[in-house]
Amino acid sequence: MDGSVPAPNDLGAYWMPFTANRQFKAAPRLLVSADGMYYSSHDGRQVLDGTAGLWCVNAGHNRAPIVEAIRRAAGELDYAPSFQMGHPGAFRAASALAALAPVGLDHVFFTGSGSESVDTALKIALAYHRVRGEGQRTRLIGRERGYHGVGFGGISVGGIATNRRTFGPLLAGVDHLPHTYDRTRQGFSRGQPEWGADLADALDRIVTLHDPSTIAAVIVEPMAGSTGVLVPPRGYLERLRATCDRHGILLIFDEVITGFGRLGAPFAADRLGVVPDLMTVAKGLTNGAVPMGAVLVSGAVHDAFMQGPPGQIELFHGYTYSAHPLACAAAEATLALYREEGLFQRAADLEPVLEEAVHALRGRRHVIDVRNLGLVAGIELEPRPNAPGARAYEAFVRCYEAGVLIRVTGDIIALSPPLIVSEAEIGRIVDTLRDVLELVT
């Protein structure tokens, strides 16, 4: 592999996503290979992956069964159209995913990413009501601070202001629940905060305001990840579920981050005991190795579409890369690897180790909150006056220079290592962060 740094001018063409391009290109950080828990950088550094790439490499990097499956697929069937055609791998991958999913989520619609999964789920929800003769149910309810990718549907129901404000009026008929975080009542919670179930009552108010018969779906991340790790209060999701049930509203869980063992169970729905009608996934579905997403759909929702003449296309929706053969091969191999290595249980076993390690940061410089669930932790820093995000960004760069990859969003540090992480590696990630916090201004 060519690990040489492109000459400065060669960095210009690539407009990098969610990146301060000019700052980055002045001091680039390039990853050139990866194996197990480590990246190698262009300047020969070994970087311990504290973030599973971007919350996706749950089985660790460069895993032989996944690499081999992709290689084999590429040499066998490079591409197959997925409209009015199929290939065996697509059906196998869908069956494997449905078998892993909570009971009742039996059907799988493949997409190419988390954003596509979210837009697909919202469209299925709208179309579901329409095919059942309730086409007036067009409203979608998201949540403040929610992240549902970057499609117009996703940013409309999403609640991160920076991701919305420059893109016009977005989808009409969307409302938002309040977010679930209150530091004064939940600060330094271990696992699910005790306070906050009542916040779900906001859904009853929204439903009353708009009239329940106008509402198609509610979408939430069961644990909000990208906004900076907001763990759902005990009882909160149960109340959302009950309100949706009372009013015939579909509940969508966006499990793009929480799926595939991140919370110590196959899905957050399993861990938290609340099953949605639709579930969006991506990332860990292929261990990040090939882009792929999916929407898991309940039998009741799926069957509502299967009522018309058999020759009729039931859903006018799909992507060129839905069920791409390489992605299906990667998904099958990934799900098998998770099972064979018992990685979801491993995440559950390591949860107390990560919890102890990160909560030891309480009282350290700049730390104003620590929270955790499964193999995820959020460490919130006091922002620098008039420079939100700058302090955490400095911590990110310093950790990288010290050989540990962390993720920051605003002034919140998120840790989400691959599920193969060892106790010693958890220790090293948190020790590095602790030392860096002493240096950060």
Ligand X SMILES: Cc1ncc(COP(=O)(O)O)c(C=O)c1O
Question: Which residues contact ligand X (rule: CB under 6 A)?
Answer: 113-115, 118, 147-149, 221, 225-226, 254, 256-257, 282
User: Considering beta carbons, is residue 256 or 430 the nearer one to ligand X?
Assistant: 256
Dihedral, 8, 12, 16, 20 alpha carbons, nearest 10: 70
Residue with Cβ nearer ligand X (137 or 283): 283
Ranked by CB distance to ligand X, the top (closest) residue is 114
Distances (CA, A) of 160 to 23, 146, 179, 315, 439: 23, 6, 11, 30, 30
What tokens appear for 309 in the block?
Answer: 């003449």
Q: Tell the smallest beta-carbon distance from residue 118 to ligand X (Å).
A: 5
- Considering the complex, what minimum distance in angstroms separates the CB of residue 257 from ligand X? 4
DSSP letters spanning 352-364: HHHHHHHHTTTTS
Nearer to ligand X, 253 or 305 (CB): 253
Give the nearest distance from C-beta 51 to ligand X in angstroms: 11
Residue closer to ligand X (CB basis): 156 or 226 = 226
Q: Smaller CB distance to ligand X: residue 227 or 432?
A: 227
Q: Quick one: 250 or 257, whose CB is closer to ligand X? A: 257
The burial class, CB within 10 Å (0-12 / 13-18 / 19+), for 340 is exposed
**Measured from the CB of residue 272, what is the shortest distance to ligand X in angstroms?**
15
Q: Rounded to a whole number, what is the largest CA-CA distance in the chain?
A: 67
Closest listed residue to residue 421, CA positions, set 338, 345, 347, 324: 347
Minimum separation from the CB atom of position 225 to ligand X (A): 5
Q: Which of 337, 364, 368 lies closest to 70, judged by CA? A: 337
Contacts of 397 (CB under 8 A, 6+ apart): none
Q: How far is the CB of 241 from ligand X (least distance, A)?
A: 18
Residue with smaller CB distance to ligand X, 270 or 394? 270
Residues 6+ positions from 361 with CB-CB distance below 8 Å: 367, 370, 379, 430, 433, 434, 437
Q: How far is the CB of 10 from ligand X (least distance, A)?
A: 26
Residues ≥6 apart with Cβ < 8 Å to 243: 200, 203, 204, 207, 249
Question: Can you tell me whether residue 294 is helix, strand or coil?
Answer: strand
C-beta separation of 147 from 155 below 8 A? no
